[in-house]
């Protein structure tokens, strides 16, 4: 795996957690709803299978998935931060941390570091190459 793909795992997992939380919130709203008001005679129909119990069970399952994903995220982020900090060049550490842990664009990094954008883009490339050299067996 290339260093860039390896480092992007943090952001990818973070986005997945965020989306699962949205899904969970929507499910909680639907499970908590009381439904519409019915007027007139009630006609017996076959159950649609979308009972409150099923909604609650699904909600709990998704919450468990989210908790497992968060545990994985925390461990992965910690490992990657330690690997980034294991590099010898401070500029490489700074660029990779800002880009892959703080999710900043190269433009933002250039402004923060008071460097030109082309220099930061070049520095980013060198930092990725340094990361790959240092950690040859990325998984």
Mean pLDDT of the chain: 88
pLDDT tens-digit readout, 8-46: 999 999 999 999 999 998 888 877 755 544 455 555 554
User: Do 83 and 135 touch, CB atoms closer than 8 A?
Assistant: yes
User: Do 131 and 96 touch, CB atoms closer than 8 A?
Assistant: yes
Q: Where are the domains of the chain?
A: 3-31+49-134
pTM above 0.85, yes or no: no
pLDDT tens-digit readout, 81-92: 999 999 999 999
Summarize the chain as % helix, strand, coil (round to 5).
70, 0, 30
36 CB burial (10 A radius; 0-12, 13-18, 19+) = exposed
Q: What is the CATH number of domain 3-31+49-134?
A: 1.10.10.10
């Amino acid at each position: 795996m290339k260093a860039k793909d390896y480092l992007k795992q943090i952001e990818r997992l973070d986005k997945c957690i965020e989306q699962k939380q949205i899904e969970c919130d929507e499910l909680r709203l639907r499970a908590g709803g009381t439904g519409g008001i019915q007027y007139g005679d009630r006609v017996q129909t076959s159950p649609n299978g979308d009972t409150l119990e099923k909604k609650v069970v699904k909600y709990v399952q998704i919450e468990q998935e989210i908790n497992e994903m968060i545990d994985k995220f925390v461990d992965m982020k910690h490992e990657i931060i330690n690997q980034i900090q294991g590099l010898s060049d401070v500029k490489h550490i700074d660029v990779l941390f800002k880009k892959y842990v703080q999710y900043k664009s190269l433009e933002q990094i250039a402004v923060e570091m008071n460097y030109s954008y082309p220099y930061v883009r070049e520095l980013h490339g060198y930092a990725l190459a340094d990361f790959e050299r240092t950690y040859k067996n990325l998984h």
